[in-house]
A and B are shown apart, each in its own frame.
Chain A
Amino acid sequence: MSALAPAGAKQTAIVSGGRRKVHTIMPDGSEMMEEFELQTDQLVVRKRRGKTVLGRELDWVYEVGLPPQRITIANETLAESGANPVFCRLDHIDRFEFRVRNLPYAKHNYSVTVDAAERKIVVRTANKKYYKCIAIEDMDRAGLPLDEHALAWEHENNTLIVQYRKPTQLIAAERQAAAARQKLGAADSDAPAKGEGDVQCPQQ
């Protein structure tokens, strides 16, 4: 199995809404959900959630993609206002892409660097409005060092786009994982899930 799904993890896949959804339950009881576009096999969403020591279920943490936008403020406490910058990661076959929307400040404000020791990409603003340490979990899992030369960034349409070229080892590993995914069927069935709506619902 890959770095994402260690030995002992249970995986199930279904196809719905034009996406192949892969659900993984890790040996420690935490869950991971991945969604791939059917046509392009591109990763759209990857989210994880675990449990606290006391057994309380935590919220989904989005590694890739955006959480659904909700208007209600959970249990009446507080939520980030819609006027804030929104961070999300979108993947391409050859590069990681990070987008920060709602950043109206001019281009000279931003500085994007690699902190190799902390294994993070650091986004700073000169006017002290936005700051973010971006960790690339895929690189951490593969144990690959971060390289300043693989980094590129752009600012247009109120959006800061940070791109990081994937190393060749990672691209190869992902190609292998994609092939394995094609074989991965629906729960308890050997037939691979190909099209939409072919999930078997075994009777009790």
Chain B
Amino acid sequence: MAQASGVKVQDVKDITRIERIGAHSHIRGLGLDDALEARLVSQGMVGQANARKAAGVILQMIRDGKIAGRAVLIAGQPGTGKTAIAMGMAQALGADTPFTTIAASEIFSLEMNKTEALTQAFRRSIGVRIKEETEIIEGEVVEIEIDRPAAGAAATAGKTGKLTLKTTEMETVYDLGQKMIDSLTKEKVQSGDVITIDKATGRISVLGRSFARSRDYDAMGASTKFVQCPEGELQKRKEVVHVVSLHEVDVINSRTQGFLALFSGDTGEIKSEVREQIDQKVAEWREEGKAEIVPGVLFIDEVHMLDIECFSFLNRALESDLAPVLVVATNRGITRIRGTNYKSPHGIPIDLLDRLLIISTTPYSDKEVKQILRIRCEEEDVEMTDDALALLTKVGMETSLRYAIHMIIASALVCAKRKGTQVDVEDIKRVYTLFVDVKRSTQFLQEYQSEFMFNEIQPADADMTDAQV
């Protein structure tokens, strides 16, 4: 019986597609009020009031869109919320502003040179808002039918499905592809909904529920909107305004068979002539009032991993009038610049540092750590007693915030094993003994180093006290 219900739960999960929880999935914005003052706890952000306020000012700068080529450095110790602030900025900017996130080590590839990768990242972060005519399908869903292959059938067989749409005048049956089935289930489309489908991209938007279904005894939220069933033909041509990045335009124009490259993902290097041509065309559109530039943000995490060539490229690239706002983050102090023997603050050459606005993050206080842990407990759906949370906070202060966050889900599993509903001090203690943190691990290594591999022969001048134990 228990097994049967377990299987059912899995089915439901498959339909609603629960989003996976990432390290920063609890962040929904910067948590600032209208006067750009940081609220104590808001939108998943806790503490770092000064850094958040500074990020808010930068955000205002980006929104105004007048200034190109500014750069911001977020510097701070590990686990002080650098990436969280960048994520918060991305969320606060909204979907229409391009926000590209890369880790500095991503640009080192054998297939593409470093500056090309950086140029592509730059151009991904500049949007062009333009009007395009697209073909859309607009209709009321009569029926969705999705067939799952029987258990044991090859997983590659995939699902097949049929979608019946109607207007006041006609009805059409569509065969569905895998991607469309996925997005239909994600949008939770059901019969009675009025939807539009962009034919080229397959993007679905639900306009609301049909008036004809308004008397159904469905559990409907207050936000349910009722709309008329569309008239006339199902397929229509419609002008839509959308934002495409310069890189996408580059890709479309760099190959003869155009749009196929967008889906294959492999773009390779793009000729500089193509880029010049596109820039010229975009400038033309701007003059004619057909298009608008939407400067976005390029966020480079772990920026100390860039080498001296990249840094000098950045110096130059930031001066172009089509440059996005560059946000970089690092957790290094004074360290070697990659590719040289020189040391520099944050591993960034002084000439580039001089062009950066620097935001620094500071370690969290115990109150803030407690608040963050509470938010993470909520995000990970874990219930915890106040005592356990206090203990976890203490652990977090003594070791690191990341270790404490990792302990949440581990202790929840331990708690579930003993059939408890709330994580208690006992569970935290148990997990603390099961998994060591960095400090304890280092201590252990120092004590027993000699018993690990390749320690049989000690250098002559080494301290032998450990080996004699």
Which positions in A face B, CB cutoff 8 Å? 52-57, 73, 75-84, 124-125, 128-133
Contact = CB atoms under 8 A, between A and B. Distances in A.
B171 interface: yes
Given A80-B174, A129-B170, 8 more contacts: A55-B258, A73-B175, A75-B202, A76-B177, A76-B178, A76-B179, A78-B180, A133-B232
Interface residues of B, number: 38
B27 interface: no
A80 B202 contact: no
A75 B179 contact: yes
Contact of B233 (A73, A75, A133): A133
Interface SS of chain B? mixed
Contacts of B132: 52-54
A80 B172 contact: yes
A125 B199 CA distance: 25
B308 interface: no
Contacts of A78: 163, 174-177, 180, 197, 202
A202 to B, nearest CB: 21
B173 A53 contact: no
Contact of B130 (A53, A73, A129, A133): A53
Interface stretch (B119-127, B216-224, B249-257, B377-385): B249-257
B170 A80 contact: no
B376 to A, nearest CB: 36
Given A53-B131, A81-B162, A131 B179 contact: no
16 contacts: A54-B132, A54-B248, A55-B252, A55-B253, A56-B259, A76-B177, A76-B202, A77-B199, A78-B163, A78-B197, A80-B173, A81-B162, A82-B175, A125-B170, A128-B170, A131-B170
A55 B255 CA distance: 10
Nearest to B169: A131
Nearest to B232: A131
Contact of A79 (B133, B168, B171, B174): B174
Contacts of A132: 170, 233
B202 A57 contact: no
Interface in B158-211: 162-163, 166-180, 197, 199, 201-202
Nearest to A74: B177
Contacts of B130: 53-54
B172 A128 contact: no
Contacts of B168: 128
